[in-house]
């Protein structure tokens, strides 16, 4: 008994002294990360919502599958807030939820939000759209499958943190909006991700000063073409131009 507690004490003491003091948000994120998992939970039931559900505060879905009913995914047509499954208000936390294939817009965050263990079984247009004006939104745990284009679309400002995440069969895990009518500097911090069969981890607009910080050593990559691409984005219309692919610089830190 004494020996066990002593061992525990020594182990803890060693852990505490070995844990670096977080000096930046990136260190903070990686120091307290959990292992990502690609084991999608089995839902006890499916709930088909007839309209988007607005979340304020915390909603724990108990791993129920939520969707918007048959035929709700209309391909890659850019949809709006009415087509979401969940609409998160400033400060909202959505956890332990499965988003099924029958939906168009997944989750939109109107302010800073937290998604914890939110699983997208089959992404339609995009999985998560971040519209916060500033601040930090965090997506941790959970994962997304079969996003022909984007998983996390950052249209607002501030920072998005993606960690302990799984992404399989995807176009882009993260993209800072390439042609939004209101453009600004955006940041993304990515760590502890299992990424399989995809084109791009992060796409940023170097002409608006975006910065992607990716802890590459913490990623488990398989058949992923590029860590980070820079683009020259437009304002309001047209298509952005790709500038660099899979090259590290101060816009793409990895
Ligand atoms: C996801 O994509 C894989 C590979 O393309 C495919 O085999 C699978 O059927 C797709 N799953 C869904 C739910 O569409
Ligand atoms: C912005 O880009 C998207 C995807 O590249 C495209 O579908 C959309 O039409 C563009 N929007 C505008 C306003 O040009
Ligand atoms: C990174 O490279 C891109 C493409 O050449 C460039 O537009 C951008 O300014 C560079 N970023 C920085 C911060 O130098």
Identify the CA nearest to 41 among candidates 95, 114, 108, 103.
Answer: 95
| 169-197 pLDDT tens trace | 999 999 999 999 999 999 999 999 999 99
CATH at 100 = 2.160.20.10
In the DSSP assignment, the letter for residue 21 is P
Strand (E) or helix (H) holding 190: strand 187-205
Assigned domain for 146 exists? yes
**Residue 40 lies inside a defined structural domain of this protein:** no
Task: Name the residue range of residue 55's domain.
Answer: 48-68+82-253
Phi, psi of 181 (to 5 degrees): -70, -25
Query: What are the residues facing 108 on neighbouring strands?
Result: 87, 129
Atom of ligand 2 nearest to the CA of 238: 14
Confidence band for 76, pLDDT divided at 50, 70 and 90: low
Residue 171 CA to ligand 3 centre (angstroms): 22
In this structure, what token pair is assigned to residue 70? 């048959």
pLDDT-based confidence at residue 115 (cuts at 50, 70, 90): very high
Number of structural domains found in the chain: 1
Q: Is the CB of 241 under 6 A from ligand 3?
A: no
Q: Is there a domain that residue 73 lies in? A: no
- Quick count: other Cβ atoms within 10 Å of Cβ 222? 10
Say which range, 5-14, 42-51, 104-113, 219-228, has the weakest mean pLDDT. 5-14
- CA-nearest residue for atom 7, ligand 2, is 78
Residue 140: its pLDDT value, please?
Answer: 97
Instruction: Assess if residue 176 is contained within a domain.
Output: yes
41, 39, 35: which is closest to 220 by C-alpha?
35
Q: What is the bridge-based pairing of β-strands 187-205 and 220-232?
A: parallel
State pTM to two decimals: 0.85
Which atom of ligand 2 is found nearest the CA of 236? 13
Considering the domain boundaries, does residue 139 fall inside one?
yes
Does residue 91 lie in a domain region? yes
Contact, 35 vs 57, CB < 8 A?
A: no
Whether residue 6 lies inside any domain: the answer is: no
pLDDT for position 99: 98
Decide if 203 contacts 176 (C-beta within 8 A): yes
76 within some domain = no
Residue of 250, 252, 254 with the most ligand 3 atoms within 8 Å of its CB, for mutation: 250
């Amino acid at each position: 008994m004494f020996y066990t507690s002593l061992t525990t004490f020594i182990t803890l003491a060693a852990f505490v002294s070995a844990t670096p003091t977080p000096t930046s948000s990136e260190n903070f994120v990686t120091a307290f990360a959990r292992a990502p998992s690609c084991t999608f939970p089995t839902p006890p039931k499916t709930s088909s919502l007839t309209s988007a559900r607005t979340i304020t505060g915390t909603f724990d879905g108990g791993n129920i599958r939520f969707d918007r009913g048959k035929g709700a995914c209309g391909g890659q047509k850019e949809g709006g807030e009415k087509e979401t499954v969940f609409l998160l208000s400033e400060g909202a936390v959505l956890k332990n939820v499965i988003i099924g294939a029958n939906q168009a817009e997944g989750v939109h965050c109107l302010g800073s939000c937290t998604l914890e263990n939110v699983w997208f079984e089959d992404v339609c247009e995009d999985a998560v759209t971040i519209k916060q004006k500033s601040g930090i939104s965090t997506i941790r745990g959970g994962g997304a499958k079969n996003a022909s284009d984007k998983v996390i679309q950052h249209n607002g400002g501030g920072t998005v943190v993606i960690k302990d995440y799984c992404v399989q069969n995807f176009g882009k895990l993260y993209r800072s909006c390439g042609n939004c009518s209101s453009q600004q500097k955006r940041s993304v911090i990515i760590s502890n991700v299992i990424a399989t069969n995809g084109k791009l981890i992060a796409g940023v607009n170097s002409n608006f000063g975006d910065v992607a910080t990716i802890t590459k050593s913490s990623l488990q990559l398989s058949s992923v073409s590029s860590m980070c691409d820079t683009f020259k984005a437009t304002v309001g219309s047209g298509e952005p131009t790709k500038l660099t692919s899979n090259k590290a610089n101060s816009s793409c830190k990895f």
